[in-house]
Structure 1
Amino acid sequence: MLEAKLEDAGILKKLIDAIKELVTDANFECSEEGITLQAMDNSHVALVAVKLVQSGFKKYRCDRPMPLGVNVGSLTKVLRCAKDDDTCTLRAADEADVLNLTYEPKNSDRVAAYDLKLMDIDSETLGIPKTSYEARVVLSSAEFLRIVRDLSQLGDSVRIEVSKEGVRFASDGEAANGSVLLKGQGPIGKVEQEKKEKKDDDEEGEDEDADGDKKKEKKTKVKKEKDGDEDVEMDDDEAADEDGEEEKEDDEEDDDDDEGSKKRKKKARLSKSSPKASKKAKTASSSKSKKGKSKADDDDDDKDAVLIQMNSHVSLTFSLKYLVNFSKSSNLTRKVELYMSNDVPLLVSYTFGEGYVRYYLAPKIGDD
């Protein structure tokens, strides 16, 4: 039995919308690890690999591996009946003929259920060989969408060239030619250096954590001493209050004097402690605003930054029609990764919280 519950139906809607023009019928392979799909287009030029990991579901149960043969067009129609923020639950019994989809709004008692008829599809899972790519480019998925759509107005193909200058997208049409150059942020590194740099960062992080623990111990010790002083001062105040109450019972005039002295003590104590409190509040607010500002700046930098890693110069030509279809996955995540090597299919990868979708496209042969 399969029972998979997604927090937001919009994830599945966007995913199916992105692949519906490439894939007509496909098997969703369900297992304990999650749900996967692998299919090729009719011309066998492009391959789509999708995975929704088990941890990406709010609730997931799959008793045994089972394929779900689905017509992607029919699934798209059923998913249109759900809102993006609805909870979507997929259910299928062992050797079932239908796939049940249930939509539940988060702020409503409405429950909508649909049954999609399953198909028997004979398909073989293709083994994707591990490839050492010569170039890796990470850029904004919105920027990639804009580039391929703009260039598709000029011609049918695009030449993607990765060099020390950056990554260039060029299209030659009958009436006009166009190109877009994206320069990498910072020095262009090698693809193989990423693991080393990550390892070094982890070691430095461990050292910093060790130093941070020592500082934290010292800071905690000092804080305790300060708390102790404050406790003593509180005891003195309580004692003064008790003396004031006894004197109040004895004589009203002495009580007025004691109240005045108590007020003066309290005022002095507040004036003495208020600079620390105001200073602490100011420091906290300034650090908070600084932190918020840096985080926003980092988000903006990450959104526009172009990362290029290259072992050697790569230049390949691809069909723009397929790249435009690939770029429809841009609403799943803000980043897209391009992996290239000469005479090897292009890998376009979109990774999001619930899994990933990867496209493989064979290069054109004989085009300059």
Structure 2
Amino acid sequence: MFELRFEAASLLKQIIDAIKELTDQCTIEVSSTGLALQAMDSSHVSLITFKLKAEFFASYRCDRTLNLGLNLKVLNKLLKTVSNTDKATLRAEDDGDQLKLIIESPRRTTTFDVKLIDLEAEVLNINTSEPKATIKMASAEFKQICADLLPLGDTLVMEITKDGISFSVTGSDTSGTVTVRTDAEPAEDEGARTEIQLQEPLTISFALRLLSQFTKATPLSPTVELRVSSDQPLCVSYEIGTDGHGSIQYYLAPKIEDEETVEPTATSAVVDDDDE
């Protein structure tokens, strides 16, 4: 039997929101140590991983490892009306074909039975070698930058130096650049100062539409970490909680300029077959 309890049902909703931007269906592995997920978007350009340790939850029980195939659109509909005071319990039997979702508010309890689906769970090895640049900044600021530049074009160019990072987009009629300096005090509503650890200056391009989808995870963490290299996918990482109990990470292969701009697949750029 598997059962866990979220003290805040709204957090479960935020997690589902962050995952469903890339995939409608996924398999979550539940084990004695916690939850884990790995999924690719339909175009196989980006990859998402999610982990939440058992210690994170108000209560957690897992008698044996299970793979739960979920339709995220269905779950999202069921969680649309949860409030910050609601609690959520997830429960599944070892050989069952349903996930039970229980939403408890101060005045009532609502129970849903969600049909599990059969999905092939492909586990990919991810290249985790040391990035050439690591940027830590306020997640709300990163979300705003992506939102401001998205109407201008499809490709975001990042230019990273020790003094800051520039985000640029060139469209058919308009171009725009947002520069964030490391020596500037952040505004009160931006949160953390931008910090950069840099081995060498970098200029690299990514699909802005997908980056904007990644920022759906903004409510989960006040900061975001961008790990960038010229020969590896970008990793956009959000920590969940304050004790290292969880994270959600997105991987996006760089755009390559050739005769036309091509987005390489995540299977060719994210996966390192030499990793174990």
TM > 0.5 between the two? Answer: yes
Given residue 43 of structure 1, which amino acid in structure 2 is its aligned partner? S
Q: Give me the whole-angstrom Cα distance separating, in 2, the residues matched to 1:115 and 1:174.
A: 49
- How far off is 1:302 after superposition? 8.4
After superposition, give the CA deviation of every residue in 1:19-56 in whole Å (9 maximum; x if it has no partner): 21211211010001111111000111000001121111
Equivalences for 1:41-190 in 2 at 5 Å? 41-105=41-105, 107-108=106-107, 110-185=108-183
* 1:365 aligns to 2:256 (yes or no): yes
**Equivalent position SS for 2:16:** helix
Q: Pick the structure with greater CA Rg.
A: 1
Q: Give me the whole-angstrom Cα distance separating, in 2, the residues matched to 1:14 and 1:170.
A: 29
Q: Give me the whole-angstrom Cα distance separating, in 1, the residues matched to 2:81 and 2:97.
A: 21
Q: Give me the whole-angstrom Cα distance separating, in 2, the residues matched to 1:176 and 1:7.
A: 46
- How far off is 1:129 after superposition? 2.6
Q: Which runs of 5+ in 2 are unaligned?
A: 262-276
- How far off is 1:300 after superposition? 4.9
* 1:326 aligns to 2:217 (yes or no): no
Identity %: 41
After superposition, give the CA deviation of every residue in 1:73-106 in whole Å (9 maximum; x if it has no partner): 111112224323211000000021100010111x
Q: Give me the whole-angstrom Cα distance separating, in 2, the residues matched to 1:8 and 1:320.
A: 32
* 1:340 aligns to 2:231 (yes or no): no
Conservation of the 8 A alpha-carbon contact between 2:21 and 2:216: no
Q: Give me the whole-angstrom Cα distance separating, in 1, the residues matched to 2:187 and 2:34.
A: 30
Q: Which runs of 5+ in 1 are unaligned?
A: 187-296
Conservation of the 8 A alpha-carbon contact between 1:51 and 1:357: yes
Query: Could you tell me the TM-score, scaled by structure 2's length?
Result: 0.88
- How far off is 1:343 after superposition? 2.1
Q: Highest relative contact order (Cα 8 Å, sep 6+), 1 or 2?
A: 1
- How far off is 1:130 after superposition? 2.0
Q: Give me the whole-angstrom Cα distance separating, in 2, the residues matched to 1:120 and 1:129.
A: 28
Q: Give me the whole-angstrom Cα distance separating, in 2, the residues matched to 1:327 and 1:154.
A: 18
Equivalences for 1:182-331 in 2 at 5 Å? 182-185=180-183, 300=188, 303-331=191-219
**Equivalent position SS for 2:204:** strand
Q: Give me the whole-angstrom Cα distance separating, in 1, the residues matched to 2:193 and 2:128.
A: 27
Structure 1 ranges of 4+ moved more than 3 A: 297-302
Q: Give me the whole-angstrom Cα distance separating, in 1, the residues matched to 2:220 and 2:140.
A: 11
Q: Give me the whole-angstrom Cα distance separating, in 2, the residues matched to 1:319 and 1:147.
A: 14
Conservation of the 8 A alpha-carbon contact between 1:8 and 1:84: yes
Given residue 230 of structure 2, which amino acid in structure 1 is its aligned partner? N
- How far off is 1:351 after superposition? 0.4
Q: In angstroms, what is the RMSD of aligned CA positions?
A: 2.0
**Equivalent position SS for 1:153:** helix
Q: Give me the whole-angstrom Cα distance separating, in 1, the residues matched to 2:21 and 2:249.
A: 15
Structure with the bigger percentage of strand:
2
Q: Give me the whole-angstrom Cα distance separating, in 1, the residues matched to 2:159 and 2:56.
A: 35
Decide whether aligned partners of structure 1 residues 172 and 298 sit closer, same or farther in structure 2, where only a CA change above 3 A counts. Answer: closer
2:5 is matched with 5
Decide whether aligned partners of structure 1 residues 42 and 299 sit closer, same or farther in structure 2, where only a CA change above 3 A counts. Answer: same
